[in-house]
Structure formats: C-alpha cells, structure tokens
C-alpha cells in the first residue's frame, strides 16, 4: 500500500469513527467530510501529522459549553432557550467566531460552524483560533426590550467562558449591532471591566472597527474578483445573483456595484426578488436594516423593474457570478445545474457552507471557479481580528486603512489557496487549497505545542 493510500484508509476509518461519536449532527459531519477527504496528500507528505494524532485532535472540540437561557417577554411570560459555545481549537490564538441566534441552532450546527472557523481563521494569518456559539432564540418579531433581556440572560452564563485572551465572540445570523451592544453591556456590568477586546462587531463609537459590518460581503466580492482575474477577467459589467438580504448580502451587493458588477437579486425565507435594473441598495437597506421588513416590501416599493417570486430559488435567475450569502446548504445540485445551464463563471460563498457537496462537485467538474466559504467569506473575521488589534492599542483606524488591510488579506488568502492547490496537484481547486493551507498552519502549531 502506498503512503497516500494508507493516509486515505486512515482518514476513512476516522470519518467512520466521527459518524459514530457524533450522531444526529449532519452539518458537522458534512463539514468534517468536506475537509478530511482533501487531506490525504498532505498526510502522505507529512507523516509526522498522522503520528501525532493531529487530525483526531482537530475534529474534537477542546471545550463544549451548553446552558439554559431563561428570559421574560414583554407580557411577563417566561421562556427558556438553549445557549451554546463550542471552543474548537486555540493553537493559533484565542478562540474566535460568531454567535448565531436562530431557531435552527443546535449543537451540530454550532460544531459545524466552529470547525469551519478553525481553517477560515488560520487562512487570515492573524493569530486567532476557531470557535462558535449561539442559541435557538429567534429575535425576529421580538421587541428591543425582549432582545435585551435575552442577551443579558445569555451573557450571564457566557461571560465566565470568554475574554480577550481566551475567547472572543462576534455576530452572526440574528446577532447584529443591537445584540452585540446588549451583550457587551451585560459583560461590563458583571465583570466591572471595560474589556473592549472581549467582543467584536461593536459600535464604531465604543470600540468597534470601521468596515466591520461590510467586511464579510466586501471580502467575498474581493475573493470572487481574484478568482476571475486568475482567468483573465474582471467584475466590470458582470451580472450577479446574490441570496439573502441580511448584512452579508447587503454589503456584497454594495461592493459588486463599486467594482462595476450588477446584482439583480436578493432573498429571504419568503422568496426572492429579481430587479432588472439592479438592486436599489438604499431601498434594500431601508426595508431590511431600518424597518426589519421582508423582501416583498422591497418589490412593492421599487416599481415595475422588480418582481417578487414567493418560495422561489434565486439560482433560477441567469447570471455570470453567484454569491450565496444566506445560510448553509441553500444551493443544491439542481441549483448548481441551473446556474451552469445559464452560463455562470464563478460561485463564491458569502455564507458558511451554503453549497451542498453535490453542488460543489458539479460546479467544479463543469469548470466553474468555486470559492469555498472558509476562504471567500473570511473577510468578516479578518476585520474582527483587526478590531481586536485596535482595541488592544486603544486606538481606531480610518476606514481607508481597514479596507486596505482587508483587500490585502483577501488577496493573500486567494494566493495561498491557489498556490497550495497547485502544490498538491489540484490546480484551480480552491476547496483543496483552502483546506490544506488552513490545516497546515494549525497542524504546525499543534505539533510544536505538544499533546494537549
């Protein structure tokens, strides 16, 4: 048996063991499969990784915290939600990863997100480990006072597990500036410390970084642009389909426009909007960020150029590039086939694992440039790390400086993934490049620090 065949056999055995030890966690198992199936070449080239049991340690979180979150609504009724924090790997630095408040949140979802975060954070080169957290609380339709009471209860337990040198949460789906503010206020109240670096995504006037709200969307567009440049093209004049209408989608649309592309869609759980003139960013921000409304309201106000498709699939709309920016597994094999039929050139993941494995394989086989989320959407956590640096120095940077750093980081991530894929015999395969490059950085640190 060759060294590579032996490595593949070892990984297959490990995947079977992971499935046995983590039942009813499909998202985590999907993420683990996606990474491990690409690692055989690097384990064959670096046998010391296998000898030290690095992969076995990598797939097991260093710490998993689950807790109840009791809170009262405006009518005095008591509710009990479940809170999570999975501190997955700290070999490169303090755990770093967002908090998600959404009814779909369970341990498997948080573990999948935390596992992805290990590699994403490693790719930034900014010295941050991987973690994730959240709750099955749904902030949609809740008053500010109810959200505040929930956040205060959530932080009353979480505070004992986090800190600027230990674990630094940020926002994710359902956790924006409002929620970060309430969480930070409760942390400060309990600890009696102004520890700005304990949370990122804060308001610009009290320790936050400029460009942080925009960073994930901006970074994804920059990664897509780098993939196109590798093929001798650019974004100028390209038509784009974008899913979602939250923070990531909005700033993806904004950056596309800045680079000369035209985004014609947005969506939410009710359906999608296609706007022949291109999405009116000001109107979308008003509906989603100010009024917290639905995308059908956008279509009603926009006029004849826009139509709302209830329950439809945004991937039906012909486009040159696609940027899934909503949630996991939103783009399946049938969607990928529709994109390919309509001539898509590149797909870049703004959300975490939005494309199913079958969709990814079909896109790659068809020659579509595919940017995996752990590389393409790393801009958000990159600017979070820059926010940590500003907090540590008790200073703030200009928007221009932050955006310059973000652009450099995203271009470096693209180069790293592209060159790593070529080095391991998979030219143009950004999935393999991202997985191996992130793994090597974490594995080298784990190897140096011993069996812990």
Active site residues: 132
Cβ atoms of 295 and 267 within 8 Å: the answer is yes
Q: How far apart are CA 152 and CA 369, in angstroms?
A: 43
Q: How far apart are CA 232 and CA 229, in angstroms?
A: 5
Cβ atoms of 224 and 368 within 8 Å: the answer is no
Strand, helix or coil for residue 198? helix
Q: How far apart are CA 55 and CA 22, in angstroms?
A: 16
Stated length of the chain: 452
Q: How far apart are CA 264 and CA 243, in angstroms?
A: 10
Q: How far apart are CA 362 and CA 347, in angstroms?
A: 12
Helix (H) or strand (E) holding 41: helix 40-45
Radius of gyration of the chain (CA): 21
Q: Measuring CA to CA, how many Å separate 134 from each of 99, 154, 255? A: 4, 9, 28
Q: Give 109's Cβ-side CA count (13 Å radius).
A: 22
Helix axes 379-393, 215-230, angle to 10 degrees: 130
Q: What is the DSSP letter of 309?
A: E
Helix axes 144-158, 177-191, angle to 10 degrees: 50
Pairing of strands 239-242, 167-171: unpaired
Q: How far apart are CA 408 and CA 15, in angstroms?
A: 36
> What region does 323 belong to: left with phi over 0, alpha with psi -120 to 50, or beta?
beta
Helix (H) or strand (E) holding 40: helix 40-45
């Amino acid at each position: 048996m060759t060294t590579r065949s032996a490595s593949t056999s070892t990984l297959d055995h490990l995947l079977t063991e992971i499935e046995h030890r983590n039942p009813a966690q499909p998202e985590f198992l999907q993420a683990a499969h996606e990474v491990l199936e690409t690692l055989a070449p690097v384990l064959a080239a670096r046998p010391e990784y296998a000898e030290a049991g690095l992969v076995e340690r990598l797939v097991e979180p260093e710490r998993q915290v689950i807790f109840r979150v009791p809170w009262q609504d405006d009518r005095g009724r008591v509710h009990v939600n479940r809170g999570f924090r999975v501190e997955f790997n700290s070999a490169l630095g303090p755990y770093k990863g967002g908090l998600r408040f959404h009814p779909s949140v369970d341990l498997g979802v948080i573990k999948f997100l935390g596992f992805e975060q290990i590699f994403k954070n490693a790719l930034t080169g900014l010295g941050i480990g991987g973690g994730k957290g959240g709750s099955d609380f749904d902030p949609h339709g809740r008053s500010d006072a109810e959200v505040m009471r929930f956040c205060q209860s959530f932080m009353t337990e979480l505070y004992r597990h986090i800190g600027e040198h230990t674990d630094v949460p940020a926002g994710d789906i359902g956790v924006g500036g409002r929620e970060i503010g309430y969480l930070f206020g409760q942390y400060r109240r309990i600890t009696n410390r102004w520890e700005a670096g304990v949370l990122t995504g804060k308001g610009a006037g009290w320790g936050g970084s400029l460009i942080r709200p925009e960073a994930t969307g901006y970074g994804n567009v920059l990664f897509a642009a780098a993939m196109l440049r590798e093929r001798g093209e650019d974004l100028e004049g390209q038509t784009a389909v974008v899913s979602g209408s939250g923070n990531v989608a909005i700033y993806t649309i904004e950056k596309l426009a800045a680079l000369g592309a035209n985004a014609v869609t947005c969506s939410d759980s009710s359906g999608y909007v296609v706007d022949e003139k291109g999405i009116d960013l000001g109107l979308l921000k008003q509906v989603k960020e100010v009024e917290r409304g639905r995308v059908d309201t956008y279509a009603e106000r926009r006029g004849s150029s826009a139509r709302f498709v209830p329950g439809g699939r945004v991937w039906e709309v012909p486009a040159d590039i696609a940027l899934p920016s909503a949630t996991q597994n939103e783009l399946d094999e049938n969607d990928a086939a529709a994109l390919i039929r309509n001539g898509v050139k590149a797909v870049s993941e703004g959300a975490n694992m939005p494309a199913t494995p079958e969709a990814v394989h079909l896109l790659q086989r068809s020659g579509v440039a595919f940017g995996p989320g752990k590389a393409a959407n790393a801009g958000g956590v990159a600017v979070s790390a820059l926010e940590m640096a500003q907090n540590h120095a008790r200073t703030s940077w200009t928007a221009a400086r932050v955006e310059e750093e973000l652009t450099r980081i995203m271009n470096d991530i693209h180069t790293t993934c592209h060159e790593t894929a070529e080095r391991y015999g998979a030219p143009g395969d950004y999935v393999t490049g991202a997985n191996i490059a992130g793994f090597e950085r974490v594995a080298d640190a784990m190897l140096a620090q011993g069996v812990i």
